[in-house]
Amino acid sequence: MTKQNYPRVLIISHNPFDLNLSIGKTFTSLFKGWPKDSIAQLYLHNQVPDSSVCSNFFHITEEQLLFKKKEEVGVIVNADTKEVSEGQDAAIRNYIKEMELFSLGRNILWSFRKWSNSNLYEWIEKFSPEVIFFAAGGSCFSYDIVNTISKKYSLPVYLYYMDDFILPRKTMNFLWWINWLSLHQSLKEILPRVEKVFTIGKDMSLEYQSRLEKECIEIMNSVDVEEFIKVSSEKSNSNRKTIRMAYFGGLHLNRWKTLSKLGETIKKMSVDGDLSISIDIYTNQTPERKILELINQPPYIQYMGSVSSDEIIIEMKKYDLLVHIESFEKKYTNKTKLSISTKIPEYLATGRPILAVGPRDISSIKYIKEIGSNYVIDVMDSSLIASILGNIWEDRSNLNSIGEINIGIAKKNHSANKSRENVRLVLNRRSC
């Protein structure tokens, strides 16, 4: 593939390329193999980027807007940059982001437009992008930035949604409605410059195409399946005395409550002698003490800390079955209803069966159910949990065959090569 087939793409997002966090991993997956001098990223979060795929970064944060003069806002990030730090703990960030007053304050801070200066525009002009790939979030200020850059340089915009930010919710929170209406106004202003919209799955494409009146292209989370296959591991032994399960992911959005309920049932059934199943929990967050007490009851359920991107495949393949969790609380299901977790393609590629626990109308749960063969608990009912755990125990001689099916599904639906080529073709079509 020649370099002419790759347009110079400016990625604008809150988070940078990363090997651990979901959106950052998605960037890495979609743009791996892109010529480095044809890709650049403007990001708005206090985080050190991974430079394995992209090495041209420009960084703007709230700290800069608060404490620097306009002409000093914005930093070119490279291997020698000293200013970028990891910022707050992930758990604190997730908690703060859920505070509507904080979101309103952020939008007001960015509205003073100290970011619109020669530092940013000189960096953009030096790169000379042909298209903008915008990982659209739930804050109106990022839409304003994209709209400004798009107009100034006559650049087409491609939106990419991984989570649902634009649908209304049933809430009496006045501040939430202020933020949502501001977001919709910003989205309305940018839409004339939007060529197409990438979405994370079928449900989101159908909903957004109707609302935005733009062509929506489904780009599901993807993985390099061969990278998972080549990691050696022992196959599950049907005669094992214990089935080992593991959860890899965040505890935010009250997912820890679902894990705790699952762990309670596992403990009860194990003590009663009906089966012998354990679940280990890996997360980059450090749980609060009260949460840790509920999800750390070895040997039935226990918190194992974090695992690096270099080791995660090896760790996943040590287990007989992998667990995907969603919250059952309406407040949080509204945020995840149309999204499909980045973890699901990874789970499928490991060749391990999946136990999915979450509401039946969540896209991630619906998707795993549609796949078949795997295990789904879509109602938070103790008897149903016990029944599914009993099925897993009885099926332990079939776990390997379910895993083989999952690898085939990962190749068909989540091939990184297919997703990259799709994105490249769409972006290149407009830049020609």
Which CATH number covers residue 37? 3.40.50.2000
Q: Which two tokens stand for residue 422?
A: 């799709």
**210 and 262 co-located in one domain:** no
**237 and 347 co-located in one domain:** yes
Burial 35-46 (b: 16+ CB within 10 A, else e): eeebbbbbbbbb
What angle do the packed helices 100-111 and 140-153 form, to 10 degrees? 30
**52 and 188 co-located in one domain:** yes
**320 and 385 co-located in one domain:** yes
Do you find a cis peptide bond into 299, omega within 30 degrees of 0?
yes
**243 and 364 co-located in one domain:** yes
- 161 close to 40: Cβ distance less than 8 angstroms: no
**What is the residue-level pLDDT of the chain in tens, covering all 432 positions?**
456 689 999 999 999 999 877 788 899 999 999 999 999 999 998 888 999 999 999 999 999 999 999 999 999 997 556 555 554 444 444 444 557 888 899 999 999 999 999 999 999 999 999 999 999 999 999 999 999 999 999 999 999 999 888 888 888 888 889 999 999 999 999 999 999 999 999 999 999 999 999 999 999 889 999 999 998 776 655 556 789 999 999 998 899 999 999 999 999 999 988 889 999 999 988 899 999 999 999 999 999 999 988 899 999 999 999 999 999 998 888 888 999 998 999 999 999 999 999 999 999 999 999 998 899 999 999 999 999 999 999 998 899 999 999 999 999 999 999 999 999 999 987 544
**278 and 266 co-located in one domain:** yes
**43 and 190 co-located in one domain:** yes
Q: State how far the Cα of 361 lies from the Cα of 390, in Å rounded to an integer.
A: 24
Q: Which domain holds residue 17?
A: 3-221+415-431
Q: State how far the Cα of 91 lies from the Cα of 196, in Å rounded to an integer.
A: 34
**290 and 422 co-located in one domain:** no
Say what the pTM is: 0.89
How many structural domains are present in the chain? 2
**421 and 321 co-located in one domain:** no
Instruction: Give the pLDDT of residue 394.
Output: 92
**148 and 282 co-located in one domain:** no
**206 and 234 co-located in one domain:** no
**158 and 263 co-located in one domain:** no
